[in-house]
Amino acid sequence: MKGKKSDDVYLTIYGYKTFGEEHFTEEFFQMLQDANPAYLPHKIGMYEPIKTPFSMEEAKKMWVESEKVKIF
């Protein structure tokens, strides 16, 4: 994208264990915040368009739900 700046970052997490518990959500986003608060997302979602404003409560709900339905 010559001449344009994009602040969009898309992240997919893969692992060998189940991440569907709330405490993993808190630990993950806490690590991001500790590294740099600017790394925390403004919006989150399980599919596009991503519209839901980020909050820890909403993130925990989506994180656990995504594991139940195997979206991620």
What is the full per-residue pLDDT of the chain (72 aa) written as tens digits? 455 656 677 777 776 766 677 888 889 889 988 998 888 888 988 888 889 999 989 988 888 887 776 654
DSSP helix/strand/coil, 60: helix
Half-sphere exposure of 3 (CA within 13 A, CB side): 0
Q: Residue 1's pLDDT is what? A: 44
pLDDT at site 28: 87
Residue appearing with tokens 């405490």: 23
Left, alpha or beta for 70 (phi > 0: left; psi -120 to 50: alpha)? left
Q: Tell me how far apart the alpha carbons of residues 13 and 16 are, in angstroms, rounded to a whole number.
A: 10
Please tell me the predicted confidence (pLDDT) of residue 32.
87
